[in-house]
């Protein structure tokens, strides 16, 4: 079955109606004497006459659902994937095996990421001008990102620690996409499902293209009216997605629901966790994590371990519990970009997470045990040391700190930027 929602003005003879169509306007349209909610065409009807087409067009509806496997297709519209067959519970442990080495994948991932940022920039520019957006281009970008995640999730995940302040909105969209994909991967979705999820991730903030930059980037506190405008961006986003060709239904939910909270205190609709789409719950966690760790004109970015703490504290209130647990398991206790102190008193930046042991990543040591800055950092593989020397004699992480206290910009030390 291939369900698709199309604009009512695209209905034609030969299309197969998938859901009941009822008159939306009382005293208007084809059935003035009956009024609102009268059944015009039942589920499972093939449109056979121009008369039916006219009746449908006069019924005051915006959209109608057709089944393209049983009748004629239409250009445009949104493809409905049917109910999501989500596993209720995530995998106990994120998938361990990696198909490619981190060093290799990160080179590929960096190119894919750069291309995705450009695509987001293009479509947001188009959306701002009311021009159409190429849904297939977005779908292809998403598929490519999902492919990298399924080869070696750590590569794209580590790149999300890089923020580009001048292109913040575009980088943010790609980061949220990658973080959501990483959660979904750890949860156990298929690569095909990940391709759909990624479309939602890339498009999630597209509604912001309708908000003036003076409001969006305002450094000071917002007025109530400005806040209301910003809080409408998920709804603006839904409108834009409706106008696009062949956008999967789930992308629509991710865009519309990424600021909802499981407690029902989110926006724009105040939906409860039970009503939220599971993939929107993943995007909601990814969105807040990237926002917290990013510096903005009005705030510095939080270190990853502090941002993780905030997410953890919001478990079951702001965020879905199982999604938070999956996220933390996937990201590691000390995600890439964390500034850590070792048991030797040396300090450094987490450069690569070990998927088999979250406590033993690779660390680029920047400060000696005496607090002296090293002329050049050297990389210690804590897991390898532990295996080679045993627990007693190996370096290990003693805790994390805020790199700003040591005048360190962690991004300068991530060996992933090229």
Counting other chains too, the contacts that 305-311 makes at CB distance below 8 Å and 24 or more residues apart are 305/333, 305/334, 305/335, 305/338, 305/400, 306/402, 308/333, 308/335, 311/285
Taking CA atoms, 250 is separated from 198, 199, 254, in Å, by 10, 9, 6
Of the listed pieces 190-198, 200-208, 299-307, 339-347, which binds Fe ion according to CB under 5 A?
200-208
At its nearest, how many Å lie between Fe ion and the CB of residue 328? 20
d(CA 215, CA 132): 24
Rounded to whole angstroms, the Cα distance separating 272 from 263 reads 6
Judged by CB under 5 A, which stretch of 25-33, 126-134, 198-206, 262-270 contacts Fe ion? 198-206
Pick from 260, 287, 318, 352 the residue near Fe ion by CB under 5 A. Answer: 287
In the complex with Fe ion, the residue whose CB is nearer, 287 or 352, is: 287
Do residues 180 and 201 touch, judged by C-beta distance below 8 A? yes
Q: Of 287 and 318, which has the nearer Cβ to Fe ion?
A: 287
* Max intra-chain CA distance, the chain: 88
> By CB under 5 A, how many residues form the interface with Fe ion?
2
Backbone angles phi, psi at 120, to 5 degrees: -65, -40
**260 near Fe ion, judged by CB under 5 A:** no
Q: What are the tokens at 312? A: 């953890």
Tell me the closest approach of the beta carbon of residue 176 to Fe ion, in angstroms.
Answer: 5
Binding segment (CB under 5 A) for Fe ion, from list 39-47, 59-67, 287-295, 403-411: 287-295
Nearer to Fe ion, 249 or 287 (CB): 287
193 binds Fe ion (CB under 5 A): no
In whole angstroms, the minimum distance from the beta carbon of 218 to Fe ion comes to 16
Contact segment (CB under 5 A) with Fe ion among 163-171, 201-209, 294-302, 324-332 equals: 201-209
User: CA dist 309 to 53, 77, 128, 320, 386, Å?
Assistant: 56, 41, 36, 15, 27
Long-range Cβ pairs for the range 224-227 (8 Å, 24+): none
Give min distance, CB of 200 to Fe ion, in A.
11
Q: Of 16-24, 127-135, 202-210, 398-406, which part binds Fe ion (CB under 5 A)?
A: 202-210
Residue 244 or 280 having the CB closest to Fe ion: 280
205 binds Fe ion (CB under 5 A): yes
Closest to Fe ion by CB, 205 or 250: 205
Given the complex with Fe ion, which of 283 and 358 has the nearer CB atom?
283
Nearer to Fe ion, 205 or 352 (CB): 205
Cβ-contact 42, 17 below 8 angstroms: yes
Of 205 and 318, nearer to Fe ion (C-beta) is 205
The C-alpha atoms of residue 89 and residue 100 are separated, in whole angstroms, by 27
Distance CA 341, CA 367 (A): 9
CB of 168 to Fe ion, least distance (A): 10
Q: Which positions lie near Fe ion, rule CB under 5 A?
A: 205, 287
């Amino acid at each position: 079955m291939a369900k698709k929602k199309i604009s009512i003005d695209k209905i034609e003879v030969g299309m197969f109606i998938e859901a009941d169509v009822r008159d939306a306007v009382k005293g208007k349209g084809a059935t003035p004497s009956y009024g609102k909610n009268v059944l015009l065409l039942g589920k499972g009807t093939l449109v056979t006459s121009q008369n039916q087409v006219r009746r449908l067009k006069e019924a005051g509806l915006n959209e109608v659902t057709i089944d393209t496997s049983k009748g004629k297709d239409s250009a445009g519209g949104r493809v409905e994937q049917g109910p999501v067959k989500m596993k209720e519970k995530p995998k106990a442990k994120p998938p361990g095996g990696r198909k490619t080495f981190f060093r290799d994948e990160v080179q590929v991932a960096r190119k894919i990421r750069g291309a995705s940022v450009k695509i987001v920039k293009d479509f947001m520019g188009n959306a701002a001008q009311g021009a159409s957006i190429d849904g297939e281009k977005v779908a292809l970008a998403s598929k490519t990102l999902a492919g990298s995640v399924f080869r070696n999730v750590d590569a794209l995940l580590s790149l999300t620690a890089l923020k580009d302040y001048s292109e913040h909105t575009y980088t943010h969209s790609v980061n949220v996409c990658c973080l959501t994909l990483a959660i979904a991967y750890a949860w156990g979705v298929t690569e095909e499902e990940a391709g759909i999820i990624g479309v939602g991730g890339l498009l999630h903030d597209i509604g912001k293209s309708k908000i003036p930059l003076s409001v969006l980037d305002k450094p000071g506190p917002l007025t109530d009216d400005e806040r209301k405008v910003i809080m409408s961006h998920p709804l603006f986003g839904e409108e834009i997605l409706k106008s696009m060709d062949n956008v999967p239904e789930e992308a629509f939910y991710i865009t519309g629901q990424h600021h909802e909270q499981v407690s029902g205190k989110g926006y724009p609709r105040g939906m409860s966790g039970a009503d939220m789409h599971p993939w929107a719950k993943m995007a909601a966690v990814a969105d807040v994590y990237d926002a917290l760790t990013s510096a903005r004109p009005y705030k510095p970015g939080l270190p990853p371990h502090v941002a993780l703490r905030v997410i953890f504290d919001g478990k079951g209130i702001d965020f879905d519990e199982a999604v938070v647990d999956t996220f933390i398991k996937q990201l590691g206790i000390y995600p890439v970009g964390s500034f850590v102190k070792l048991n030797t008193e040396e300090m450094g930046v987490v450069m690569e997470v070990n998927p088999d042991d979250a406590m033993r990543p690779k660390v680029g040591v920047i400060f000696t045990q005496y607090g002296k800055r090293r002329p050049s950092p050297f990389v210690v593989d804590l897991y390898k040391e532990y295996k080679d020397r045993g627990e007693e004699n190996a370096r290990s992480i003693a805790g994390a700190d805020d790199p700003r206290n040591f005048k360190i910009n962690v991004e300068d030390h991530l060996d992933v930027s090229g």
